[in-house]
Amino acid sequence: MVVLITIFLMSSTVLSYAQEKQTKVIEEKSAVKTRGEAPVQITPKMTNTPGQPAKEDKSRGDVYPGYCDVVIDNWTGWYIDIYIDGSYRGQIKPWDKRVTWAIPGNTKLYAEAPGTSFYWGPRMVDCGYQHTWKLNP
């Protein structure tokens, strides 16, 4: 009984810490475009933080201070173009993980594999401190 209470207290402490940091992970499978479908309006214009290239997700700390870090985790064999709030943020390699940024609050995520009919999103998320978007085939 003491062991169960200890496990419960430890898990509630971990949950409260995760909620405090507002770290979220969303896992999403690809969808296939059908003829005549226009999934999202995109306006390519900006890459990553002004004046900085995309950074790898290393230890965790503020990669982009003052912004919500968006971690894109590509679990596919395709190159994928990433769009955050309608702005092009670059391309992620197959089986790679990259970090970009978003303004905290409601954020629209969209991704597509060029040359294929596969896409992810559009998905509205509430981005706080860090948001991980896992893209599955």
Note the pTM of the prediction, 2 decimals: 0.59
pLDDT digit string, tens, across residues 82-109: 999 999 999 999 999 999 999 999 999 9
Does the N-terminal peptide bond of residue 44 adopt cis geometry, omega within 30 degrees of 0? no
> How many structural domains does the chain have?
1
Look at residue 118 and give its three-state secondary structure: strand
Answer yes or no: is 2 within a domain.
no
Answer yes or no: is 131 within a domain.
yes
Answer yes or no: is 10 within a domain.
no
Cα maximum dimension of the chain: 61
Q: Comparing C-alpha atoms, which of 82, 108, 104, 103 is closest to residue 93?
A: 82
Answer yes or no: is 13 within a domain.
no
The range of the structural domain enclosing residue 85 comes to 23-136
Answer yes or no: is 12 within a domain.
no
Which CATH number does the domain housing residue 42 bear? 2.60.40
Under the banding of pLDDT at 50, 70 and 90, the label for residue 28 is: confident
Rg of the chain taking only CA atoms, in angstroms: 17
pLDDT digit string, tens, across residues 102-119: 999 999 999 999 999 999
In whole angstroms, give the CA distance from residue 22 to residue 43.
Answer: 28
